[in-house]
Structure formats: structure tokens, C-alpha cells
């Protein structure tokens, strides 16, 4: 019995110790280290990179109170103080996002490792994080020892794309390799190969920038790919550089010569190094890619394939020796964005024969990319793949809306048993694929849809009890995927595919909910500034291929609006600093155009582009005066500039722009607003702009709000275009008319967000009635079925319905605002968002007359929670009365209950009618 008693006591002590350990000694963890929004980036040229991390804990109310960072040239040296490059010591700060590196300047092509640990609000230190690293690229132009090389005596452009160019060289290594990096770029697009294998998984490199001012190079770690004897090969295609670009029949906009620049640095374990460069010793030839154009597609003749050309031992005696090209290296930059990649694959859902006898595959999703096809046939047989977004009213293949884009891939067989084809330097926007020239009908699994877009990390989800709204959310996200292909394009299918600034700015907040666009926008905004004209005018499209056409209100304002979005979502102050001169130059341009009366009048603008229009006298459309819109945006961006100036430490500028905005506001009211609060353009867009931008004096807000509500009630639908639509539901909710906002969202008839969904849309359309109720189409000159702008409603769905919002005073979700809004007959809604601090969740449902609400607040953040239609005495949180179980100091504020919480998961419930 004594032994038994001892055993029980021992077990009890062990149990108590385990409980005590899990509660008292629970530690925070530091994880998910990123440098400049990238995980372990190589080849960056940011001299003072910023470091971010996340805090993980299973405890509630966890805050970081201090951190310590250490940086060294190797993992082992991180723990050796004498070997550290930078060590902060313990820094009293809750900052865990975008902490600037403070060590000595790094050299070109240098890798450094870093770690961080953090102290929580109980003064307990975490363990050191797992090491992360970043690696610099080529920081000085003179370190480029490679030469630009090109194909000599190339035939002149004759109206069609010229053949792709194939480059190669061989070299050997003689020692044990420590590391190897290849730095490469091109005029045109390139694919790079080493010893027969493709280098990296990036597509459409070097990307699309304002090539004459900024040309990206890529860095690849090729250490494991090297052998004793090696071959480098590269294929160059026209791409954006010299292919068809824009809708004005332009070709070779940036230049007429393709060229390659490559530098491979090999470091040996004995401390020596070797550099292989592009130079006059390389060989070049044409090959099986006869034509390759982004708009028109690719023509590939497999009979011309050169087996083994990318490997050692290939006989290149009939290839030409390259020519040198005198082209600058001063504009070379490392990428700041995210690369384009093949992200997913889709199998067709149906093979059909149209009334015209066309053989057509239905991919089931309007997508961007191409198809990979398996084909059999005789040598010299030709097959074609043609691409379309929709079928016409009769069910036939429809390409009229592609305008001049041929969107056709052509493949000539070499006659092998089975051949596989997919293009290299083109992409298509499509749901349907017409198969032409196939000797036998392919099976569904012989064709694979390859979905490509910028490799942005998904960050947001939204769902609710209405399946049509869920499909709308699906369409919004697929519209973004299809059009965020290195630049935010308007459409991915016709002869356009340009970075329209207006589309980008109205959609920017929704984009930032759906995906991590921090790096994507950082890169693109540098091109906005680069292409901005000396007088401050901002081109309509970026990169600018319309020869400087620009200066449109609501479009050019992208200069301030997207940096502001990035600041709000990610807490990124640097983008405000970097873009500030661009922003103020645009304000100066507007100030010059407006003159001393502070009204921007008479200039050409797009206005509320593609607003609802009708030819019926009993069902009129809505046209908002462009001068009103221009002056409204003049005010808004000037006021935004004042805020930005204050944030980045320019108080004099902040005051200057604040006073200018006040003068614009007075002029706006004198010119466009009656004493009774009616706007001269009596449209939903006009009122949404005036109310949401804060243009009206306090005594006229209620009157203008009533005019807006009455107009929505009269029409029973929206009448807005590109500029009014993103603001409409937000404004209605702000004036207390959620009923009307939900009515607009849930409306299924034209014009509405759900009308395209009822017509089978899988992406957002350019027009409200791209396909009319009778099955006919809108004007072929402008009728994209993948155009994300109207998807800007997604912001309201995330922030208002699901209830995840940003506190403007604490950007980057450092302090989260939870404020859900049931309505529209919805019985549940939820949203997740992966912030820089961690995952945020907001999910509500109405069940058995009870409002059940679950939220998740990541560590090192806090949140304000506002519960709709709630009584404090009835609210329970984690099954206990709200101010008893967890002391939250909750308060009754009218019909709402409001309280603050720290990090953790919370389950809230209360009676709800």
C-alpha cells in the first residue's frame, strides 16, 4: 500500500507540474520572417531593407514589448557577437512590421542571415527564431561585366512577329563549388536554361516595366545545377518590348532589337571565383518558335526543333556568332514585385460541337494563361488552338470582342508518337478553346489549362449564406488573378491588356483584401512615377505606351490612392515617402489646370466611365458632369496629400495642402451644390463622391444623403460607372441606408453585380450588360468579360458585411475594427484576412434568434468590437456575461455594444431579432 500511495502522489505531482508548465511557462514564438515582403529574397537592391515577423502564442492578450535582431554573414556567426554585422540589443518596442535594417551598408552579391526574438507583456523572452536571410544583387552598374548580345542581320519587321532567338554557350568548372548565382535580363522576354533544365519557374521575365527608365534583372541560385561541363541556353521573344502593344497598331514600342545580358558568378570553396558573361563568344540562331506575340499567340514548328541545343556537346557550327549591342546598363534594377508563375492547372469540363460545327472545349472558368495539349499526327500536320471568353447566342465560338487580337496558337507536328505543346511568350484570356486541324478529337485529359498570374499570396476569403454572392466573390478573385500579371491590366484577352490607372485605383482596397499586393504595388508605383511627365501629368496607362496621353481625373489620382492603400493595409510608411514627389507633382498639375478659382473645368476626362445608360425614355441612364468629378478628385487627392505629408514628417506641406483643400471645397460648393444640398449633376455618382469625400458642409449632408437615397429608391438599381460604383454601397451605409446598399448587392436583374452571375459569369465584366438578357452582346469595340473594376464592391463585403476594418490611426491592422452588419436576408457571413501580424477572422451567423459571432485577433494587435442590435446585459463572451468572465469594460452605445479586446479567439452570443 505504501508503494501504491507513493505512485499516486508521484502521478499527481507530475500532472500538476505539466499543468503549471503549460500555463505559466507558455512562450511566445517568433515566426514567418520576411524581408521587404519576401521570404528569403536573393538579388535585392534595397540598401536599407525592412524586416518583419509574426508573434505566435496560444495565450490571450499577448503583446510584444521588446525585440532583438541579430545579423551575420552565416548562420553559425549569428551566435558570435564578434562576428555579427548588426545587433540591435534589446529594443523596447511593439513594432514587428517593417523594422529597418540599421547595420553597415552591404556589398553587392552578399548574403546575410538574421534572427529575431521578442519579449511579451509579461517580460518573457521568446526563443530566437529560425534564421532567415536576404541577399543583395548587383548594386553598381560598373559591376556588370557582361555585354549586351543580339542576333546579327535580323530581318526587318514586315507586319508579323519575327522568330524567337536562341542563344547558347558552354563552359567548364574545375573546382569544388560553394555557390553560384546567375544575373540575367533581356530586351524582350527570356527563358533561361542550364544543362538542359529551365532555370527557375518564373514566366515573362524580366517583367514589364517602363523599359526606357527601369529594366529589371533576375537573380537565380544555380549552385545545384552546375556540373564539370556546362551549357547555358536562352530563348528570347518579342513580349511587351517589341511585340504588338496598345490598341493603336503599335509594334516595337520600346525598341527593334532583342538582346540578352547575362552574368554567372561561381564561388569556389577555396575562396576563388569565376564569372561567365554574355559576350562575343556566344552563338545565336532562330528555331521552332516562328512567331510569338502577346496578343496574337504563338506559331511553333516542331520540325525545326534543335535537339540538345541547351545541353553540352551540341553542334552549333551552323549558328551565327552574336553581335554586340550598345545599350545602357545604368537603368538595371532588381525586382521589387512578385514574379509571374504558372499557379494552377484546370481540366476542361466539356467537349462540345457548336451549331457551326466547331469543336470547342469548355474550361468551366474564364481564365488567363494557355492550354497544354497532347497531340498525335503525321509530320507536317498543323493544329490550331483559338481562344474565346464566351459563346454567342446560338452557342457558336465568339471572338469579335477580341478586336484585332488573333489569340491563336499554331503547332506544326514533327510526327512523333505523342507530342506535347504549350507556348512560351504569349497568354490568352479565355474560357473556351476551339480545336482546329486535329486528326482525332482529343480527350478531355489531353488538354490542360495552365493558369498564370503574379505569384501573390492569397490573403482574404469571404463567404455568406447567399450562393450568388459567393459566386460574385469568386468572380472578383478570378478577375484579379487574370489581370494582375506583373502590372494591373484592364483586361487579359483583347488587343489592349494595359495598366489602366483608373481601374487599378478603384480596385486597390479590394485587391489588398484578396491577395498580398504589397510588393506588387510597390513595383508598379515606381513605374507610375517613372512615366509621369515633367509637368506632373500622369499617363492613362502604366507602363506608358500611349505616348504620354494622360491627366484624367480619377485615373491619374492613382499616384496617391494606391500608396495610401499600401500604407493602410501594411503600415508601410516608406511607400508614402518614395512616392511623395510624384503625388505632389500631380497636385501641382491639377492646381495649374484649375487656376485661381480652384475649379478644374473644361479638360477632357473619362468621367464616370461606363455608367449605366439606357435608350429608353422611361428608364434613363445617368451622366455625371466631368468638371464636378474633376474638382471632387482635386479636393480628395489634395486632402490626402496633406495627410501623407503629416505622416512622413512634413508639417508645413501638410498645412499648405490642407488650406488648398479647404479652398477647393468652398469652390466646389459654390459651383456644384445648391443651397438646398442638391448637386448640379443629380446622380448617384455625384452624391457618392460629394458625401464620401467629405465635400459638403455639415448642414447639407443630411439633405444630400436624402437625394442619394431617393435616387436609388426611384431607379431601384445602381446607375454608377467606374468611379461611382466603388463608393456607392459604402456611402449608403455611411448615411444609415444599409437597406438600400443590400438591395443593390442582392439585385439579380440588370444592372447589378449579380446579373452577370445569373448569366453564368465566372469573372467580373467590363460592362453591366456585356451579355444582354436576350443573349446578344454589347458593342464589340469594348466588351471584356474579365475586367475587375466593378469588383471593387468586394471591399464593402469584407469591411461592412463581414466587419473587418482598418483603424486609420493604427494602420496595418495593428488595431482592428470588428463591426459586422447583417442585412439583405443573409443568415451568415464570414471573412478571413492574413495580415502582417497574422490571421484575422470575423464570422457571424443568425441562428434560433441568436447572433453568434466569432472573432480571432492575432498576437501583438488589439481590436475594437462593435456588436449590432445588442443589449449589454444579454451579451455573453466565451459563455460568460461580457463584463464578468472577461473584464472588457464593454459599454452600451445606442443600439450597439462596444468593447476592446487583446489577441485571442472570442466566441460571442446574444439574442437577436
Q: Which sequence positions are flagged as catalytic? A: 496, 766
Question: What is the rounded distance in angstroms from the CA atom of residue 59 to the CA atom of residue 912?
Answer: 30
In sequence order, what are the beta bridge partners of 845?
828, 852
> What 3-state class would DSSP assign to 717?
coil
CA distances from 23 to 55, 58, 59, 490, 648 (A): 18, 10, 9, 53, 42
Half-sphere exposure in the Cβ direction for 305 (13 Å, CA): 16
| Dihedral angle computed from the Cα positions of residues 745, 511, 635 and 703, in that order, rounded to the nearest 10 degrees | 20
Question: What is the rounded distance in angstroms from the CA atom of residue 615 to the CA atom of residue 874?
Answer: 54
Q: Which of 240, 235, 230 is nearest to 285 (CA)?
A: 235
Largest CA distance in the chain: 102
Q: How many CB atoms lie within 10 A of CB 295?
A: 24
Q: Which three cell numbers stand for residue 752?
A: 447589378
Contacts of 690 (CB under 8 A, 6+ apart): 632, 668, 672, 673, 679, 696, 704
Whether the bond into 400 is cis, omega within 30 of 0:
no
Asked if residues 757 and 468 have their Cβ atoms less than 8 Å apart, the reply is yes
Q: Which of 404, 516, 501 is nearest to 453 (CA)?
A: 516
Asked if residues 520 and 337 have their Cβ atoms less than 8 Å apart, the reply is yes
| Torsional class of 813: left (φ above 0), alpha (ψ -120 to 50), beta (otherwise) | left
Spell out where 616-756 has E strands: none
Taken as a whole, the chain contains a residue count of 913
Dihedral sign, CA of 186, 575, 461, 120?
positive
Pairing of strands 408-412, 297-301: parallel
Helix axes 558-570, 501-514, angle to 10 degrees: 10
Question: What is the rounded distance in angstroms from the CA atom of residue 214 to the CA atom of residue 191?
Answer: 20
Instruction: Give backbone dihedrals phi and psi of 262, rounded to 5 degrees, phi first.
Output: -145, 140
- In degrees, to the nearest 5, what angle opens at C-alpha 848 toward C-alphas 847 and 853? 35
Chain centroid offset of residue 288 CA: 34
DSSP for 718-760? Answer: ----TTTHHHHHHHHHHTT-HHHHHHHHH--SSSSSHHHHHTT
- In degrees, to the nearest 5, what angle opens at C-alpha 624 toward C-alphas 622 and 630? 160
In sequence order, what are the beta bridge partners of 104?
none
Whether the bond into 228 is cis, omega within 30 of 0:
no
Specify the DSSP element, H or E, that contains 527.
Answer: helix 518-531
Question: What is the rounded distance in angstroms from the CA atom of residue 633 to the CA atom of residue 653?
Answer: 19
H helices, E strands: number in the chain: 15, 51
Question: What is the rounded distance in angstroms from the CA atom of residue 316 to the CA atom of residue 168?
Answer: 9
Contacts of 909 (CB under 8 A, 6+ apart): 850, 851, 852, 853, 875, 876
Pairing of strands 815-818, 862-867: parallel
Q: Which three cell numbers stand for residue 227?
A: 556540373
Amino acid at each position: 500500500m505504501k508503494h501504491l500511495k507513493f505512485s499516486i502522489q508521484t502521478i499527481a505531482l507530475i500532472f500538476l507540474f505539466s499543468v503549471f508548465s503549460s500555463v505559466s511557462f507558455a512562450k511566445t514564438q517568433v515566426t514567418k520572417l520576411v524581408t521587404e515582403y519576401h521570404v528569403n529574397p536573393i538579388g535585392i537592391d534595397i540598401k536599407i531593407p525592412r524586416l518583419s515577423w509574426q508573434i505566435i502564442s496560444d495565450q490571450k492578450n499577448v503583446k510584444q514589448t521588446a525585440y532583438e535582431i541579430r545579423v551575420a554573414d552565416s548562420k553559425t556567426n549569428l551566435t558570435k557577437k564578434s562576428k555579427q554585422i548588426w545587433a540591435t540589443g534589446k529594443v523596447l518596442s511593439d513594432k514587428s512590421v517593417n523594422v529597418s535594417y540599421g547595420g553597415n551598408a552591404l556589398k553587392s552579391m552578399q548574403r546575410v542571415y538574421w534572427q529575431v526574438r521578442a519579449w511579451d507583456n509579461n517580460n518573457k523572452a521568446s526563443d530566437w527564431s529560425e534564421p532567415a536571410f536576404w541577399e543583395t544583387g548587383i548594386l553598381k552598374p560598373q559591376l556588370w561585366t557582361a555585354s549586351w548580345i543580339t542576333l546579327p542581320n535580323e530581318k526587318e519587321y514586315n507586319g508579323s512577329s519575327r522568330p524567337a532567338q536562341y542563344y547558347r554557350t558552354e563552359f567548364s568548372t574545375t573546382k569544388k563549388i560553394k555557390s553560384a548565382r546567375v544575373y540575367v535580363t533581356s530586351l524582350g522576354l527570356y527563358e533561361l536554361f542550364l544543362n538542359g533544365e529551365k532555370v527557375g519557374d518564373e514566366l515573362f521575365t524580366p517583367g514589364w516595366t517602363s523599359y526606357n527608365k527601369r529594366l529589371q534583372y533576375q537573380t537565380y541560385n544555380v549552385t545545384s545545377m552546375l556540373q564539370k561541363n556546362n551549357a547555358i541556353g536562352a530563348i528570347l521573344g518579342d513580349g511587351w518590348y517589341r511585340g504588338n502593344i496598345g490598341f493603336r497598331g503599335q509594334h516595337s514600342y520600346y525598341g527593334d532589337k532583342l538582346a540578352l545580358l547575362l552574368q554567372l558568378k561561381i564561388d569556389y570553396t577555396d575562396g576563388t571565383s569565376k564569372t561567365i558573361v554574355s559576350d562575343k563568344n556566344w552563338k545565336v540562331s532562330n528555331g521552332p518558335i516562328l512567331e510569338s506575340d502577346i496578343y496574337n499567340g504563338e506559331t511553333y514548328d516542331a520540325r525545326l526543333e534543335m535537339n540538345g541545343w541547351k545541353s553540352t556537346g551540341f553542334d552549333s557550327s551552323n549558328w551565327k556568332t552574336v553581335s554586340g549591342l550598345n545599350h545602357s546598363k545604368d537603368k538595371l534594377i532588381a525586382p521589387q514585385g512578385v514574379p509571374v508563375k504558372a499557379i494552377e492547372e484546370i481540366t476542361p469540363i466539356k467537349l462540345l460541337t457548336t451549331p457551326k460545327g466547331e469543336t470547342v472545349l469548355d474550361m468551366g472558368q474564364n481564365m488567363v494563361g494557355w492550354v497544354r495539349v497532347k497531340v498525335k499526327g503525321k509530320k507536317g500536320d498543323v493544329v490550331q488552338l483559338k481562344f474565346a471568353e464566351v459563346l454567342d447566342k446560338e452557342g457558336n465560338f465568339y471572338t469579335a470582342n477580341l478586336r484585332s487580337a488573333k489569340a491563336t496558337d499554331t503547332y506544326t507536328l514533327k510526327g512523333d508518337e505523342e507530342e506535347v505543346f504549350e507556348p512560351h511568350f504569349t497568354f490568352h484570356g479565355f474560357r473556351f478553346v476551339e480545336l482546329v486541324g486535329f486528326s482525332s478529337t482529343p480527350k478531355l485529359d489531353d488538354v490542360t489549362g495552365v493558369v498564370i498570374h503574379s505569384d501573390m499570396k492569397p490573403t482574404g476569403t469571404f463567404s455568406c449564406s447567399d450562393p450568388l454572392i459567393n459566386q460574385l466573390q469568386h468572380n472578383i478573385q478570378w478577375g484579379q488573378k487574370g489581370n494582375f500579371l506583373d502590372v494591373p491590366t484592364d483586361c487579359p484577352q483583347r488587343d489592349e491588356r494595359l495598366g489602366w490607372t483608373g481601374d487599378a485605383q478603384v480596385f486597390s482596397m479590394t485587391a489588398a483584401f484578396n491577395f498580398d499586393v504589397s510588393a506588387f504595388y510597390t513595383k508598379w508605383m515606381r513605374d507610375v512615377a517613372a512615366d509621369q511627365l515633367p509637368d506632373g501629368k500622369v499617363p492613362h496607362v502604366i507602363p506608358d505606351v500611349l505616348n504620354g496621353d494622360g491627366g484624367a481625373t480619377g485615373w491619374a489620382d492613382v499616384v496617391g490612392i494606391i500608396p495610401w492603400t499600401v500604407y493602410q493595409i501594411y503600415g508601410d510608411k516608406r511607400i508614402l515617402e518614395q512616392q511623395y514627389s510624384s503625388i505632389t507633382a500631380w497636385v501641382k498639375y491639377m492646381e495649374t489646370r484649375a487656376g485661381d478659382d480652384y475649379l478644374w473645368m473644361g479638360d477632357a476626362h473619362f468621367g464616370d466611365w461606363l455608367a449605366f445608360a439606357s435608350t429608353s425614355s422611361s428608364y434613363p441612364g445617368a451622366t455625371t458632369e466631368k468638371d464636378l468629378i474633376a474638382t471632387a478628385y482635386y479636393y480628395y487627392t489634395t486632402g490626402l496629400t496633406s495627410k501623407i505629408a503629416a505622416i512622413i514628417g512634413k508639417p508645413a506641406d501638410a498645412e499648405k495642402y490642407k488650406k488648398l483643400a479647404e479652398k477647393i471645397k468652398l469652390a466646389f460648393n459654390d459651383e456644384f451644390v445648391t443651397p438646398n444640398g442638391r448637386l448640379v449633376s443629380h446622380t448617384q455618382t455625384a452624391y457618392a463622391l460629394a458625401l464620401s469625400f467629405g465635400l459638403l458642409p455639415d448642414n447639407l449632408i443630411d439633405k444630400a444623403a436624402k437625394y442619394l437615397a431617393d435616387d436609388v429608391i426611384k431607379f431601384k438599381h445602381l446607375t454608377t460607372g467606374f468611379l461611382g460604383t466603388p463608393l456607392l454601397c459604402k456611402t449608403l451605409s455611411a448615411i444609415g441606408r444599409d437597406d438600400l446598399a443590400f438591395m443593390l448587392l442582392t439585385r439579380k436583374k440588370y444592372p447589378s453585380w449579380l446579373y452577370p452571375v445569373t448569366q453564368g459569369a465566372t469573372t467580373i465584366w467590363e460592362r453591366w450588360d456585356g451579355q444582354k438578357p436576350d443573349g446578344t452582346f454589347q458593342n464589340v469595340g469594348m466588351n471584356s468579360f474579365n475586367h475587375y473594376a466593378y469588383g471593387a464592391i468586394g471591399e464593402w463585403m469584407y469591411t461592412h458585411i463581414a466587419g473587418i476594418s482598418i483603424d486609420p490611426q493604427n494602420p496595418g491592422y495593428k488595431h482592428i475594427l470588428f463591426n459586422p452588419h447583417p442585412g439583405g436576408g443573409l443568415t451568415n457571413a464570414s471573412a478571413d484576412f492574413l495580415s502582417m501580424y497574422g490571421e484575422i477572422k470575423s464570422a457571424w451567423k443568425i441562428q434560433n434568434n441568436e447572433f453568434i459571432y466569432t472573432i480571432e485577433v492575432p498576437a501583438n494587435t488589439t481590436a475594437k468590437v462593435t456588436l449590432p442590435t445588442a443589449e449589454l446585459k444579454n451579451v455573453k463572451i466565451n459563455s460568460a456575461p461580457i463584463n464578468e468572465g472577461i473584464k472588457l469594460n464593454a459599454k452600451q452605445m445606442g443600439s450597439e455594444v462596444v468593447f476592446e479586446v487583446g489577441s485571442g479567439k472570442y466566441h460571442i452570443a446574444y439574442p437577436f431579432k
